[in-house]
Amino acid sequence: MSSPGSSSTSRVSVEEQAPLPKPADPAAKLSSDEIAPLSGNPFFHVVLSKSHVRRSCLMGPSKDLVDILPFAEVPTVLKCGGESWDMVYRGHAPGRKFFDGGWRKFVKANCLVEGDACVFELMANSDEKIVFEVQILRGDVPKVFFKRDRIGESEQKPIVID
């Protein structure tokens, strides 16, 4: 027992400490609702709008990611939920860079709608092949937020919380 004014330290041997939990295995198969931790690779995210999910849907990486991707037409794979979708990254296109020839199939297969979000983590990046691991976050965002004259974008259209 320590007396007032003296310090006391308690020591625990390494053998007595509880083992640390093992880190999550990023390769482990998750159920479709589960979110996996990102591995530290570059990524971009997008909340899907009408232009991403309608008939002439388009998707492309963020400007930050475009800067590290090849300035070329490169076969690309999106992996999600144990399945994969082949498409082409059009990195040489003037203006916005985008995925072609498969994004619509990805949208349909995963029942993506306006308000859902996708996180695209870059897993492989070369002139021969680009691979993204995609996580889908289902969103129930009210359609009013997708209209052109959005609430909260001006003093005339404030967001009102009751």
Q: Is residue 16 part of a domain?
A: no
Q: pLDDT band for 29, please (50, 70, 90 cuts).
A: very low
pLDDT by residue (tens digit) across 112-134?
A: 998 899 999 999 999 999 999 99
Examine residue 114 and state whether it is found in any structural domain, yes or no: yes
**pLDDT over 90, % of the chain:** 38
Residue position matching structure tokens 């990254």: 89
Dihedrals phi, psi of 34, to nearest 5 degrees: -80, 150
Inside any domain, residue 95: yes
- Distance between CA atoms of residues 124 and 4, nearest Å: 61
Strands (E), the chain: 43-47, 73-80, 83-90, 98-100, 117-125, 130-137
Q: Give CA–CA dist 110/80, Å, rounded.
A: 9
Q: Residue 63 is part of which domain span?
A: 40-141
Residue 107 confidence (pLDDT) above 60:
yes
Which pLDDT score, from 0 to 100, does residue 123 have?
97
Number of domains in the chain: 1
Residue 12 within a domain? no
Amino acid at 146: F
Residue 31 counted as domain residue: no
- pLDDT of 140 reads 65
The verdict on residue 89 lying in a domain is yes
Higher-scoring residue by pLDDT: 7, 158: 158
User: Quick check: is 11 in a domain?
Assistant: no
Q: Per the structure block, which two tokens stand in for 17?
A: 């400490």
Q: Please say whether the beta carbons of 106 and 57 come within 8 A.
A: no
Helix (H) or strand (E) holding 52: helix 50-53
**What is the domain-level CATH number for residue 55?**
2.40.330.10
pTM of this prediction exceeds 0.85: no
Which residues are registered as beta bridge partners of 39?
A: none
Nearest to 78 by CA among 91, 67, 66, 87: 87
Decide if 28 is inside a domain: no
pLDDT at 109: 94
Phi-psi region of 84 (alpha: psi -120 to 50; beta: other; left: phi over 0): beta
pLDDT at position 141 is: 56
